[in-house]
Amino acid sequence: MTILRSPHGRWLDLRRPQVLGILNITPDSFHAGSRVATEADLLRRAEAMLTAGAAALDLGGYSTRPGADDVSPDAEKARLLPALAAVRREFPQAFLSADTFRAAVAAEAVAAGADLVNDVGGGTLDPEMLPTVARLGVPYGLMHLRGTPQTMTQRTDYGPADADLLPALLRHGRDQLAALHALPGGRAVDVLFDPGLGFAKTPAQSHALLRRLPELAPLGCPLLLGLSRKRMVYGPLGRTAAEALNGTTALHMLALAGGARLLRVHDVREAVEAVTLYGVV
């Protein structure tokens, strides 16, 4: 499966790697430069990303950075749904992703025009998420996470020498895919698998996963990778998230070499250039 088909008739072709631009409608996302506070700012940034070559845009109203405050479903909807409607109105052909782990938010986002549900919980944070995705027939980003965004930094023990790290991801992916496929309509859902770099994983564990991406191939899903400006990039460099663009680009090339098909990024032009050069050399 290399083409994601939206229930709205739009599609995303992953036969070559593509770029997913991040639009954070939150006041506390870890990279301050990714936050948008007004509709005008949102639309300017969306246009710039699409012009720079983003194949899709990922809109989120709940920050999942380590230690972020919990946000109520109503507050998340109040951020996400108007933003999604505005981007859909201005860019009717754009492929849009709703970044949420809540089934009710996902359902309303799809009704408002979202083409993909990008779930950091991979169906573990809301028992209604997989049934909702199956019922709607919407493409689904299934991520690996232990705990919640509030507790995940305490859930990084994968056994001696992290021996169970990759098997844990494979079990999670297989279990959640089996649960989805057992639902009416579930087998028709196009699924991306995201190993969740930085989510319940130390920087060293995320680096190890980046090296071992090809071992996730048995899941049979295109890989969605989100490493843009994360601690795994800026920590070893002694930098900050704001200074991590060059390091992000370097690791994007490793992700592409490991089989990533969709890069979730803050900096679209640079990521598109990385994809282009990866396809040339």
- Is 102 designated active site? no
First and final C-alpha spacing in the chain: 25
Run of H or E residues at 261 = strand 260-265
Q: Which two tokens stand for residue 96?
A: 């849009």
Determine the Cα–Cα distance for residues 219 and 5; give it in Å rounded to an integer: 19
Determine the Cα–Cα distance for residues 67 and 151; give it in Å rounded to an integer: 7
Q: Which two tokens stand for residue 184?
A: 């009416």
- Is 264 designated active site? yes
User: CB burial class (10 A; 0-12, 13-18, 19+) of residue 206?
Assistant: buried
Q: Which two tokens stand for residue 23?
A: 């639009």
Catalytic choice (45, 230, 231, 261): 230
Which residues sit opposite 195 in a β-bridge? Answer: none
Determine the Cα–Cα distance for residues 261 and 256; give it in Å rounded to an integer: 7
Residue numbers annotated as active site: 230, 264
